[in-house]
Amino acid sequence: MIRSMYSGISGMKNFQTKLDVIGNNIANVNTYGFKKGRVSFKDMVSQTISGASGPTQGKGGINPQQVGLGAQLAAIDTIDTQGSLQPTGRVLDLAIQGDGYLVVAEGTGTGNNITAADTFYTRAGNLYLNNNGYLVTSSGHYVLNNNVNNPAPIQLNGGNIDKIQNLSISEDGKISFISDGVLNEGTEPVIGIARYTNPGGLEKVGENMYQATANAGVRTIMTPSLDGAGTLVSGALEMSNVDLSEEFTEMIVAQRGFQANTRIITTSDEILQELINLKR
């Protein structure tokens, strides 16, 4: 009886966590590059009332008798499926079609003080040029190039952005523009794409960014569209991969699961009350 109450409590906690994740998914339904979360459960340890015994000459075998003690969280996964692409017509809006993340970092823009701790990864490609000609994200992080060993911030035209005309970005990350009547094609750094052996091991840190963890595996800086890396689509943004109909369905399931576990607690409480009333 008391076991059932604690099982109900564990179920309520789990479904509350599931509702928290669903709420975050719905809140980010229009967040560029957002990847939805998914909660899965597993059963807790079971108490063995009677152990199993094998068959003998006179009797058959007996199966174990166990009482489960509730449920617990198994995982909160990040589902990194492709989101739909929304055309914007803006050259510096970049969507990634396929695998990989844009590599961004905090730093001065020189590239000399960028460490692994300063490096982040994002699928949100709404990029901008700052007043020094560096390609940055909406939160001001520098976008890095495809240098495998030492990716560095990308600065266009030596910082003279007032002279840049007809800017374009190809699917393989090459930046082209006209400056002082001269076509600059293939002279600027190429936008880099990072891939991990276990992208599910990346950790969300806010501002549409991820950082590496001990379980993310090996990082590879690549050129877009080559060797399995995704391609860049200029003039478009990747939307969230949250499906509202799926989230609302999961929300109803979680709500009913939460209600069912509260009923376990109230029923166990009523039985305890009946036991107390027996002495009257």
Same domain assignment for residues 76 and 98: no
Q: What are phi and psi of 167, to 5 degrees?
A: -70, 140
Closest CA to 16 of 68, 69, 73: 73
Rounded distance, CA 33 to CA 224, Å? 17
Pair 17, 81: CB distance under 8 Å: no
How far apart are alpha carbons 211 and 119 in whole angstroms?
A: 7
Q: Are residues 92 and 228 in the same domain?
A: yes
Residues 95 and 228 in one domain: yes
More confidently predicted of 278 and 127: 127
Residue 107 shares a structural domain with residue 229? yes
Q: Is 253 found in the same domain as 164? A: no
pLDDT at residue 110 above 70? Answer: no
Residue 186 banded pLDDT, cuts 50, 70, 90: confident
How far apart CA 197 and CA 10 sit, in angstroms, is 34
Domain identity same for 164 and 204: yes
Is the domain of 177 the same as that of 218?
yes
Q: Residue 20 belongs to what H/E stretch?
A: helix 2-27
pLDDT value of position 204? 95
pLDDT in tens, 212-221: 999 999 999 9
Let me know whether 91 and 201 are in one domain.
yes
Give yes or no: residues 70 and 164 share one domain. no
pLDDT of 250 over the 60 cut: yes
Domain contains 89: yes
Number of domains in the chain: 2
Per the structure, the complete domain to which residue 97 belongs is given by 85-238
Q: Is the pTM of this model over 0.95?
A: no
If asked whether residues 212 and 260 sit together in one domain, one would say no
185 φ/ψ angles, rounded to the nearest 5 degrees: -130, 120
